[in-house]
Structure 1
Amino acid sequence: MPGASETRPRWPAITMAALFLGYALGKAVRAVQGRLGFPGGPVPSASEHAWYAEHVMDVATAQWCAVATGLAAAALVLATVVPAGRLVPRPLMLGALGVTLVAFGFGVVMIVAGGFFGVGADWTRYHAVAGVAVMVLLTWTALVYARSAAPVRVRTARRVRGRRGGRRDGAPPERARGAAGTGGRARGRGADA
């Protein structure tokens, strides 16, 4: 019988990883150029660029930080479906997915505000619809991971060689001597035998 990790869909996480890698690549292009924004997105004005550089941080540094964020997000969503991701404690994964959902959701709200209502940056409706679609995909990825059964244990060397002292069904050695809870009475060695 396949475990939970084999039956849950992998494509949402793989798609999100590809999208996050694309985000990181776009931000790397802007970092090399020393420009704000994202390729294909609204072009910030010179005054916005100057204000950001003066009051927030160096533009290239901010873009390189965004590259690191994109790479970390890609690794996170991939960890939800690859065997190596099972080594990460589940509460840590769920917390990181929650933080990613909130941060990404904030970005989508800003894109939707610009695309549909003209508030903030000059995002188009296409950007807003795409942002909502990607947010749905990220939410689906997180829900698939959260609803999956307890993480499958990674086989250790001892389990590969076999169990020592226990039964084939994995019961501990104490239970291998007699029926569960009978203290050995199942074989006629009980107190009244």
Structure 2
Amino acid sequence: MNAMAAVHAARRWRPARRPDSVPLRWAWPAYLSAADQLVYAAEKGYYATQGRLGIPGGPPVTASQYADVSDVALAQWTLASLGVFSAVMALAAVRPWGGLLPRPLLLLGLWGTAALAAVSQIHVAREVLFGSGPAGWSARAAVQGFVGLCLWLAMAWLFTRRRGQNATATEKTVRGTE
């Protein structure tokens, strides 16, 4: 492979995203979503250090649920790490280093997380409004989950809509001359 072929191959694999961060008017849902996910991770970490299952604002956990989980702390730390991963994914949607990830992969992660959050929020809302299962879900947990879901959906939608704004002026100029 000659030098020019190597340069062209490197340009093909270069991320198409801008090297600067996204303006705050587009990025605020991502920052708030990241903060929300870090609060979730901190809550899960706190419960993991105590060896408890559940989430603050959630129903009390029965003894049979503890029997189903072989290692309570590991389960809670796993969920806490998923919260940190979600926060990093939210920031990757608006920070320059997020351009290192392929856009389709990040879109899949954002919308997949939104779908899972929507399913769990439907469950929480049903329990709070109708009380069909074990009592104990607080309205605060339902509101916090709903706000978090709305922020995540806004961030995913804005990231999806920003597709055409990712090319720099130089790339647009080069495309126009070809």
TM-score of the pair, normalised by structure 1:
0.71
Distance 2:100 2:167 in 1: 9
1:70: which partner in 2?
83
1:170 pairs with 2:138: no
Partner secondary structure for residue 170 of structure 1? helix
Once the 2 structures are TM-superposed, how far is the Cα of residue 22 of structure 1 from its aligned partner?
0.8
Once the 2 structures are TM-superposed, how far is the Cα of residue 4 of structure 1 from its aligned partner?
9.8
2:101: which partner in 1?
88
In our comparison, the structure showing a higher alpha carbon Rg is 1
1:15: which partner in 2?
32
Higher RCO (C-alpha 8 Å, min separation 6): 2
Partner secondary structure for residue 10 of structure 1? helix
Gaps of 5+ in 2: 1-19
Percent sequence identity over aligned pairs: 35
Correspondence for 1:133 among 147, 150, 163: 147
Q: Greater share of helix residues, 1 or 2?
A: 2
In the TM superposition, what whole-angstrom CA distance separates every residue of 1:125-180 from its partner, at most 9, and x where no partner exists?
Answer: 3322332222111100100000013363589xxx8xxxxxxxxx5379xx6xxxx8
Partner secondary structure for residue 135 of structure 1? helix
Count of aligned residue pairs for this structure pair: 157
RMSD, aligned CA: 2.8
CA 1:171 to 1:82, structure 2 compared with 1: closer, same or farther past 3 Å? closer
Off by >6 Å, runs of 4+ in structure 1: none
AA at the equivalent of 2:166? V
Partner secondary structure for residue 90 of structure 2? helix
Distance 2:161 2:25 in 1: 9
Mapping for residues 75-154 of structure 1, pairs under 5 Å: 75-121=88-134, 122-150=136-164, 152-153=166-167
CA 1:62 to 1:4, structure 2 compared with 1: closer, same or farther past 3 Å? closer
AA at the equivalent of 2:163? A
In the TM superposition, what whole-angstrom CA distance separates every residue of 1:65-99 from its partner, at most 9, and x where no partner exists?
Answer: 10111011000011111011122111011111111
